[in-house]
Amino acid sequence: MADHSKKLHIAMFPWLAFGHLIPFLELGKLIAQKGHRISFISTPRNIERLPKIPSNLAPSITFVKLPLPHVENLPENAEATMDVPYHIIPYLKKAHDGLQQPLSHFLETSAPDWIIHDFAPHWLPPIATKLGISRAFFSIFKASSLCFFGPSKSSVTEAHEPRTEPKDFTVPPKWVPFPTKIAYRLFEAKKIFESFEENASGVSDWFRLLTIYLGADALAVKTCTEIEGEWMKLLGELHDIVPVIPVGLLPPSTQEIGDNNKDSTWGTIGEWLDKQEKGSVVYIALGSETQPTQQDFTELALGLEQSGLPFFWALRKRSGSVGGDSVELPEGFVERTQGRGVVWTDWAPQLRILAHESVGGFLTHCGWSSVTEALQFGRALIMLPFLTDTGLIARFLEEKEAGVEVPRNEENGSFTRESVAETLRLVVKDVEGKIYRDNAKEMATIFGDMNLQSTYIDKFVELLENRRRVREG
């Protein structure tokens, strides 16, 4: 624990997406465990939707609610990416930029030692610098994804041809000095290319990221060297203006699995899983941000049906989504798969489900936090990425042979029920898929090693403490 007189006050300011909020909260809890004080800053509705803090940490973590300014085209009560369709997200970024003044006021009156922030607030570094507050950019994107996006110094990019069209993103960048297949498919590259162009928020996502890189005192990454050693080394070279430090994979503590026992939904789910053969069930969850088209959704459902495998599908409707078209299961799907599969439309205790021995594979959108939870328990992956860097994560895990991506059309990203069924059977059941099941189990020795992951937090907290000593000295 930290010496009480040396207790740090750390503000945390994640982007308005639960794929960001949750890892930030996890990191905040781990720093609080070391005896430091956390101010976790977000909007009122997002804070209300976060998981409860363990009682022993509650005195060390304060939630700071900053109301989101009203912005034209942003529906009322929309405070996170899960609340809006994809094309509305730039307006959410515009509203987020409107938090500049209230956040400045909080920093001025609270004087934290550090602010750990996300990629979005490009206006934050000069404010924090003026107030003498140290800045750490915490990236929920892993090292290989950050390397793919590019360096923060122009000398590296000037040495290579600039990426001026989507197809340039379908090959590994020239600054990667070792062999890799990590790159975007053409249909993904077209979408990613948009992040380099100015959007309705007034700036591009790339501008935000670059400004944040250049204004940070440290770059913290949700990864570990046992998984991404060569990528971390390269990331340090691409951003040699600041210390680049892994904070570990932030796997949720197994104590949280126990906490789910108190949850009444577990009784029904656990009872059903207990009746299934060991390693036979496919668990399906596409995350809170993913918005598949009706065609994708239909092919996925029919592929699941065609696979003949038992399944548990966590199909929670996007909470309070405004203006997004809801998708429907194919007619008769639930009746035809009754007994063999469960379609669960309420909140599902994902960690508890993945920990159950009857689960043999996880059909995932490849969000880095979801993947971490699955590999913590050695579950092989059936990968169906949709957003931002999830395609790069899928290629990374294919290189590690911890799972297989559902084959798709390069041009438009479409896939068939047959390809879903074949990939599911390969990863969960077929003899040829044993390598993926074995490798996923092997990766659990890293992803599930709490002591190893804890050493990364120790080193990160040491960096935070040292910075203050240097300032005071």
Tens of pLDDT, residue by residue over 132-172, are 999 999 999 999 999 998 887 655 555 567 788 899 999 99
pLDDT at residue 320 in the model: 44
DSSP per-residue codes, 344-385: E-S---HHHHHHSTTEEEEEE---HHHHHHHHHTT-EEEE--
- For residue 50, is pLDDT > 90? yes
- For residue 254, is pLDDT > 80? no
CA distance 403 to 373: 14
> 175 and 47 in one domain?
yes
CA distance 32 to 113: 14
Q: With 0-12 CB in 10 A as exposed, 13-18 as middle and 19+ as buried, what is 343?
A: middle
> 261 and 236 in one domain?
no
pLDDT at residue 255 in the model: 67
Question: What average pLDDT score do residues 238-263 get?
Answer: 77
Packed helices 18-33 and 368-376: angle between N→C axes, nearest 10 degrees: 60
pLDDT at residue 5 in the model: 52
SS3 14: coil
Q: Which of 266, 268, 269 is nearest to 256 (CA)?
A: 266
Question: What average pLDDT score do residues 46-66 get?
Answer: 96
As a whole-number percent, the residues of the chain with pLDDT over 90 amount to: 80
Q: In what order do the strands lie in the sheet with 341-344?
A: 341-344, 311-314, 281-285, 359-364, 380-383, 403-405
> 265 and 210 in one domain?
no
Give the model's confidence band at 316: pLDDT under 50 very low, under 70 low, under 90 confident, else very high: confident
> 144 and 24 in one domain?
yes
> 458 and 436 in one domain?
no
> 461 and 370 in one domain?
no
Q: Which structural domain range is residue 132 located in?
A: 4-251+450-472
- For residue 101, is pLDDT > 60? yes
The alpha carbon of 173 is separated from its chain's Cα centroid by a whole number of angstroms, namely: 23
Q: Which residues of 243-259 are buried (b: 16+ CB within 10 A; e: fewer)?
A: ebbbbbbbbbbeeebeb
The per-residue pLDDT for range 337-354, each reduced to its tens digit, is: 999 999 999 889 999 999
Positions marked active-site: 20, 118
Give the model's confidence band at 321: pLDDT under 50 very low, under 70 low, under 90 confident, else very high: very low
- For residue 263, is pLDDT > 90? no
Packed helices 368-376 and 434-447: angle between N→C axes, nearest 10 degrees: 100
> 462 and 339 in one domain?
no
> 229 and 291 in one domain?
no
Q: Say how many domains are in the chain.
A: 2
Are the C-beta atoms of 201 and 98 separated by less than 8 Å? no
Torsion angle defined by CA atoms of residues 15, 17, 22 and 24, in that order, rounded to the nearest 10 degrees: -10
- For residue 451, is pLDDT > 60? yes
Q: Which of 372, 399, 393 is nearest to 188 (CA)?
A: 393
**In 10 A of CB 72, how many CB atoms?**
8
Give the model's confidence band at 17: pLDDT under 50 very low, under 70 low, under 90 confident, else very high: very high
> 303 and 221 in one domain?
no
Residue with tokens 């030692």: 113
> 357 and 315 in one domain?
yes
Instruction: For residue 12, give the DSSP letter.
Output: E
> 428 and 371 in one domain?
yes
Question: What average pLDDT score do residues 58-77 get?
Answer: 96
Question: What average pLDDT score do residues 48-65 get?
Answer: 96
> 10 — phi, psi (to 5°)?
-120, 125
Q: Which of 263, 265, 443, 237 is nearest to 344 (CA)?
A: 265
CATH number at residue 468: 3.40.50.2000
Give the model's confidence band at 322: pLDDT under 50 very low, under 70 low, under 90 confident, else very high: very low
- For residue 319, is pLDDT > 50? no
Give the model's confidence band at 327: pLDDT under 50 very low, under 70 low, under 90 confident, else very high: confident
State the pTM of this model: 0.92
Question: What average pLDDT score do residues 376-402 get?
Answer: 95
CA max distance for the chain:
70
The answer for residues whose C-beta is within 8 angstroms of residue 436's C-beta and 6 or more apart is: 380, 381, 401, 402, 403, 404, 426, 427
> 117 and 97 in one domain?
yes
SS3 139: strand
Mean pLDDT of the chain: 91
Q: Which helix (H) or strand (E) holds 206?
A: helix 205-215
What's the Cα-to-Cα distance from 11 to each of 39, 62, 224, rounded to whole Å?
Answer: 5, 9, 23
CA distance 200 to 209: 17
Q: Which of 147, 158, 155, 163 is nearest to 195 (CA)?
A: 163
